Amino acid sequence: MSGNLRERAEGQPSASESPAGEREGQVGAAFARAAADRRAALIGYLPAGFPSVDAAIAAATAMARAGADIVEIGLPYSDPLMDGPVIQEAVHRALSAGVRVADVFRTVEAVAATGVPVLVMTYWNPVDHYGVTRFAADLANAGGCGLITPDLPPEEAGPWLAAAAARRLDPVFLVAPSSSERRLALITSACAGFVYAASVLGVTGARASVGDAAAGLVARVRRHSELPVAVGLGVSNAAQAAQVAAFADGVIVGSALVRRVLDATSADAACASVASLAADLAAGVRAQTGSNVAGHADSVAAKPG
């Protein structure tokens, strides 16, 4: 099995032409398009409702139009254990302003109208409280493609997996450098769309460098799954995006984009700043286009039986 999506894309049918591609949906198709261009996909995150619902929609749509291949919309939560101070501040302000789950779906619908696949990133408690089946239905009706659940173990995800399958939504789970081979096999088997690889242990936040463990984690994940592997936590600029794009199928950026909104003096300024960074990051993931990316040969491995 080739562990690299870009290598698999060469000489293969497009996502719309192959049976497997038909099952991949919009998220898989976005990765396939990036792979066909010999590059990684750019995934950008912004929370709903910050600095207001309408301003968040404007910023997220600006990010999509500036080059994000996939957009994550965060569902603000009162106890965001995985998130660092930048995202914590943003979601606190969104909650203080009265954002609701319905506003999240409205944001998803508006961003999906750009043609870019949209997923919701959320802790599990709001989904459970809202109602799993109802949440899946409303997310699908809004045009959402799936859900990223950082605190939901696959062993406890049965109701969500069933609801997601019924609505053709992609369930995305996280793996970490500390994940054992057994955990990697279990988690990746429950994923659809892509596998979210946390580059470091700890909370979200822009960092001076991406963790050294990230490339090794991607290679380990590819021994268990043919799904695209996207790396998040720590990427903040085009150079880091290019670094991660050298070994991963996708580059996830959150805190750096949220910081642009926090630092902006107006909603219009936030849109312009987010779009500028998104364009720089998009250029970063394209820096590897057409090259023989170092480390790709190491990712070609047989899938364990």
- Measured over the CA atoms of residue 175, residue 177, residue 183 and residue 185, the dihedral's sign is positive
CA atoms within 13 A on the CB side of 293: 27
**Cα 63 from chain centroid (whole Å):** 14
Integer CA distances (angstroms), 142 to 47, 80, 113, 117, in order: 16, 24, 10, 11
Task: Find out whether 130 and 158 touch, Cβ atoms under 8 Å.
Answer: no
**Active site residues per annotation:** 72, 83
- Give the 3-state DSSP-derived string for 84-119, with helices as H, strands as E and coil as C: CHHHHHHHHHHHHCCCCHHHHHHHHHHHHCCCCCEE
User: What φ, ψ does residue 268 adopt, rounded to 5°?
Assistant: -65, -40
Helix (H, G, I), strand (E, B) or coil at 237: coil
Distance CA 91, CA 98 (A): 11
Provide CB contacts within 8 A for 104, sequence distance 6+: 48, 49, 73, 75, 120
**Cα 206 from chain centroid (whole Å):** 16
Distance CA 227, CA 35 (A): 12
Distance CA 255, CA 232 (A): 10
Provide CB contacts within 8 A for 131, sequence distance 6+: none
Cβ count within 10 A of residue 255: 25
